[in-house]
Homo-oligomer: A and B are copies of this chain.
């Protein structure tokens, strides 16, 4: 990223162009409900998805991938083993990886798994407010995929978690809050229809892994994550304007992601340091 990221809008537009030029290979170990939508989101964006999530393959693949997503939505036993393998390999080889701790807090298996995975220092942790508070160690995680806590209530937990992992923490909500433990970005784009399509949040984790691959570990991963969120939520706005409901929205969202250009992104982006 040659431009200083203090102009976040310009940075987002530039990152989108770079992402499409580099067609990053994003490995997804994610829940069975959203694999299809997640792969289609990555393809629409210009990245290449690969759902390699079995033991003995997940680790070697993570070393070669551009980025990795680990999403705990339906963590079957074999996938849990593969997730640990992939996270360890990613951490060891410098591949950026994103942890999405779906419904962590009240559910015992995934909560223990999330704790173990944190040891591999995820480049980004992404969740709703309840999940971030639970991962940071002081909440119950809400009910399933619903957040029962507000974004701002999770701000201090997000900061503490980011300092602990050394990475970025992203809290999704009407206004998304992102932090690297020192700085904070807010993104005010998006549409409520994104919450009426399953995987609306989960697929964003894969997009974050794609954008994280554009910068080195010592680069500005917070700015890269802000680009992921802004691109994604601006596309949602464009799609919502064309949709008659959640079904037509999902298709329009993929169309909008594929079609999004720098001008459209710049015009609509509402992303700022704050």
Contacts and interface: CB of A to CB of B under 8 A. Distances in A.
Interface of A: 25, 31-37, 39-40, 43-44, 48-57, 60-61, 64, 73-79, 103, 106-110, 143-146, 195-199, 243-248, 250-259
A145 B50 contact: yes
A25 B108 CA distance: 19
Contacts of A37: 36
A76 B74 contact: no
Contacts of A254: 245-248, 250
Contacts of A195: 43
B252 A248 contact: yes
Given A48-B144, A49-B198, A56 B252 contact: no
A143 B64 contact: yes
A44 B258 contact: no
Q: Count chain B CB atoms within 10 A of each CB in A49, A50, A103, A259 and give the residue with the most.
A: A50
B250 A244 contact: no
A47 B248 CA distance: 19
25 contacts: A31-B51, A32-B35, A32-B51, A33-B35, A33-B49, A36-B37, A40-B250, A43-B246, A49-B144, A50-B143, A50-B145, A51-B74, A52-B74, A54-B75, A54-B76, A56-B109, A57-B108, A76-B79, A77-B78, A243-B255, A244-B259, A247-B251, A247-B253, A248-B254, A251-B251
A250 B251 contact: yes
